[in-house]
Structure 1
Amino acid sequence: MSTTKPTAEEPEERTVRPFAAFLQEQSGGQLHDELSTRLQELIEAVRETGKAGSITLKIDVKPIAGTDGRTLTVTDTVATKVPRTERPKSIFFVTDDNNLSRTDPRQPVITGLREVEPTPAPTQLRSAK
């Protein structure tokens, strides 16, 4: 892709380098790999939760002091907002001591219960006429 920047004398032809090429070279290719991995993880989380998420890429460009402005440092920061599944809720009761209990301390405990063995099924089927 190229753009033309007209001047008073004659137009200057500039070539704009593709951003994808920069991504593949930044941090020795680590930025591209990280973005690829995080995008896949984000898509998986969005599909699992049905909620939205995002990836934010920040690129800082600074001149190196003492150079003619043609040498720059480029740093990147990647932030991912991954949707989370909601954790299950539990119901607890508060005791008089301000502790949590799974059973209601105001409800009386039923005692004397026993397990009953199941009765065997009849061996012969009977029919009614």
Structure 2
Amino acid sequence: MTDQTTERTGEIVDLPTWLASHLGGRTAEEISAEFHTLLDAVREHGKKGSMTITFVVEPPANGVESAPLPIGVESAVKAPKATAPKALYFLDADGNPCRDDPRQMAIPFQTAHTTTEFKDAH
């Protein structure tokens, strides 16, 4: 790998300005939407989240010095989620989860006979 220093003769483009123009502004719009999704999730769940923006710059094709540089922008959002509800289980003799405590005796349950007749309270 060679060490090349480039003398800059003009003004350096401001990164936010460049990002706003990348792919006709589509990238900035997508990143903004993801950022607001992250903000909403943090506010809703009360937990922290994060967003990473990565600039991927590839060397010119075939090593040609004057060839254009492919530049991509990638983003990754780690938004908080709601905590999934849990249910309680017991382990049976084989180690399988079950809803009823295997150490307790089962009580037979019968549904009472229903009627539509009411006794007079007099």
**Do Structure 1 and Structure 2 share a fold, with TM-score over 0.5?**
yes
Q: Which runs of no fewer than 5 residues in structure 1 stay unpaired?
A: 1-11, 124-129
Change (3 A) 1:112 1:42: closer
Q: Secondary structure at the match of 1:75?
A: strand
Runs of 4+ in 1 over 3 A off after TM superposition: 112-117
Considering fraction of residues, name the structure with more strand.
1
CA separation in 1, counterparts of 2:75 and 2:100?
47
- Return closer, same or farther for 1:107/1:41 CA change in 2, 3 Å cut-off: same
Match of 1:31 among 12, 24, 27: 27
- Matched residue type, 2:46: G
Q: TM-score, normalization: structure 2?
A: 0.71
Larger RCO (CA under 8 A, 6+ residues apart): 2
| Counterpart for residue 72 of structure 1 | 69
Task: Provide the aligned length of Structure 1 versus Structure 2.
Answer: 111
1:81 partnered with 2:111 = no
Identity of aligned residues (%): 30
Instruction: Label 1:112 to 1:45 Cα distance change in 2 as closer, same or farther (>3 A).
Output: closer
Where in structure 2 are there 5+ consecutive unaligned residues?
1-7
Q: What do you get for the CA RMSD once the two structures are aligned?
A: 3.1
Structure number with larger C-alpha Rg: 1
